[in-house]
């Protein structure tokens, strides 16, 4: 199949999609709606966002429910979960937790890792910026992944539960993971515009990469923002660079819109003129390439 390239009108059409998007409708269905009430300061914001990003697997209703159950384990205060004096009770409260393949013992270990890290650092931004300074955005994610895995701290933290390290992939891993969840976490922490948290100040929004879930990937591929046939870190870089050419200052502002266009069914992922007709980016979509629409 011939490569599908973005049309010259895509920047204008994408901006129209953004401007017309019903943010309030989709905010209520997004994990960030469960995170924001917990994020009352930077430390709590980081902990709540790491929990939310780690649990961001499956449908949004289940994700928000899982975030709520973890918050309940801390009595509604995520800072309780990283207090070393609560370690034994935290382990007990999380023992029966499960969300998809994520278990309570893995979250318990995550909180142990965070408590250990915060004993010597003010913010996870320090870890990300240190890696970013040496290796760009992928270097920042790699350093963040290393911290969350507890790399080099096994003597202090104990052995990680089975499957724990896989929760925090790095773009530098051989798998080439798109690292959607950690990239989402960084988006939440860096962007100060709605609906994000904006607690980090040292990373420019123009440096962000798009969290490439399957909804964003499908739409990005069909708009010609990437030609790659699978989600990968290379696809993340291609989509992010294409969006950066449209908005160099805040390229990932379109992420929430593209994601929830898929989640809500506004993009049916097939030709359906009843749904696709009003869509601002329909003229740019490969499904509609060369197809006239009756007036």
Give the tens place of pLDDT for each residue, 180-193: 999 999 999 999 99
pLDDT of 295 reads 45
Are residues 186 and 48 part of one domain? Answer: yes
Q: How many domains does the chain have?
A: 2
Instruction: State phi, psi for 131 to the nearest 5 degrees.
Output: -70, -40
Find out whether 214 and 239 touch, Cβ atoms under 8 Å. no
pLDDT at 261: 94
How much is the pTM?
Answer: 0.95
Predicted local distance difference test score (pLDDT) of residue 292 = 64
Same domain, 125 and 248: no
Q: Is the same domain home to 240 and 265?
A: yes
Among residues 203, 219, 251, the one where a domain terminates is 203
Q: Which residues in the chain land under pLDDT 50?
A: 1, 295
Calculate the dihedral angle through the C-alpha atoms of 144, 124, 51, 84, rounding to the nearest 10 degrees: 110
Tell me, yes or no, whether 50 and 174 share the same domain.
Answer: yes
Same domain, residue pair 114 and 141: yes
Pick from 161, 24, 19: which is nearest to 104 by CA?
161
Same domain, 42 and 122: yes
Q: Does 39 share its domain with 155?
A: yes
Q: Please report the pLDDT score of residue 40 as a whole number.
A: 97
Full domain range(s) for residue 2:
1-29+206-295
pLDDT of residue 7: 84
Beta bridge partners of 102: 99
Whether residue 67 contacts residue 51, with contact meaning beta carbons closer than 8 Å, is answered with yes
Q: Based on the domain organization, do 211 and 169 belong to the same domain?
A: no
Give me the pLDDT at residue 203, please. 97
């Amino acid at each position: 199949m011939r490569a599908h390239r973005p049309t010259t009108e895509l920047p204008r059409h994408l901006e129209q999609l953004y401007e017309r998007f019903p943010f309030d409708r989709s905010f209520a269905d997004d994990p960030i709606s469960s995170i924001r009430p917990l994020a009352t300061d930077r430390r709590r914001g980081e902990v709540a966002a790491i929990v939310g990003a780690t649990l961001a697997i499956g449908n949004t209703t289940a994700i928000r429910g899982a975030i709520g159950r973890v918050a309940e384990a801390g009595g509604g205060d995520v800072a309780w979960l990283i207090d070393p004096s609560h370690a034994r009770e935290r382990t007990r409260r999380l023992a029966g937790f499960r969300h998809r393949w994520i278990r309570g013992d893995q979250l318990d270990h995550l909180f142990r890792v965070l408590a250990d890290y915060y004993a010597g650092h003010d913010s996870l931004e320090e870890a990300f910026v240190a890696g970013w300074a040496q290796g760009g955005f992928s270097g920042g994610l790699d350093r963040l992944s290393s911290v969350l895995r507890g790399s080099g701290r096994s003597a202090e933290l104990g052995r990680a539960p089975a499957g724990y390290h896989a929760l925090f992939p790095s773009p530098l891993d051989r798998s080439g993971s798109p690292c959607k969840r950690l990239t989402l976490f960084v988006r939440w922490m860096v962007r100060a515009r709605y609906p994000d948290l904006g607690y980090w100040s040292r990373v420019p929004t123009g440096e962000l990469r798009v969290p490439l879930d399957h909804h964003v990937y499908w739409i990005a591929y069909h708009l010609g923002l990437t030609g790659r046939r699978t989600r990968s870190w290379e696809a993340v870089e291609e989509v992010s660079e294409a969006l950066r050419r449209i908005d160099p200052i805040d390229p990932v502002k379109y992420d929430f819109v593209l994601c929830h266009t898929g989640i809500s069914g506004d993009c049916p992922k097939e030709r359906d003129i009843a749904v696709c007709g009003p869509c601002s980016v329909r003229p740019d979509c490969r499904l509609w390439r060369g197809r006239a629409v009756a007036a």
